[in-house]
Amino acid sequence: MMMMMQMYFTASTHVTLWLKQWHTHTSVWYIVSLLGLLGLALIQEAITSYRATYAKRLAKASALERPAEAEVPLTTASMRVGSGSRVVLTVLYGVNVAISYLLMLAVMTYNVGYFVVIVLGLAIGHFIFFGVASPMASPDICCAAQLP
């Protein structure tokens, strides 16, 4: 027996999300799933914002530690500077990617509620975590390379 995936949006409250065991048999579990997806979307934006801010702080700190004329990109010396910080940034990036894929898979269920809640969560998270003081909102060219 072959299962076919639907390719159109539905408004059903009976949805399987990520695992066969995670099927919303009741409206209560559907609402719990919606709240969970909303929270995951907010977490995604919070981590993205934190990662951008953290990278900007590291760039400023490393610029203060070494003179501008000594900057040679991608040398072993520059790779060693703040290697613990690079690991933190890499882990945060990995978490960002994992959450992004989970949210994408939830959208691919073609459930209207899931789609709306994820888009709202990302938009609300962007509004909350990316204010006017955010590195993402900076008009400076120097920040362009640090965008996630």
User: Does the reported pTM lie above 0.75?
Assistant: no
Q: In terms of Cα–Cα distance, which of 70, 35, 67, 51 is closest to 130?
A: 51
**How far is residue 73 from each of residues 54, 66, 84, 88, 111, measured CA to CA in Å?**
20, 13, 18, 20, 46
Least confident of 37-51, 53-67, 122-136: 53-67
Strand extents, DSSP E, 1-134: none
**Per-residue pLDDT reduced to its tens digit, 62-112:** 765 555 545 555 555 444 446 788 889 999 999 999 999 999 999 998 999
30, 114 Cβ separation under 8 angstroms: no
Residue 71: how many other CB atoms lie within 10 Å: 11
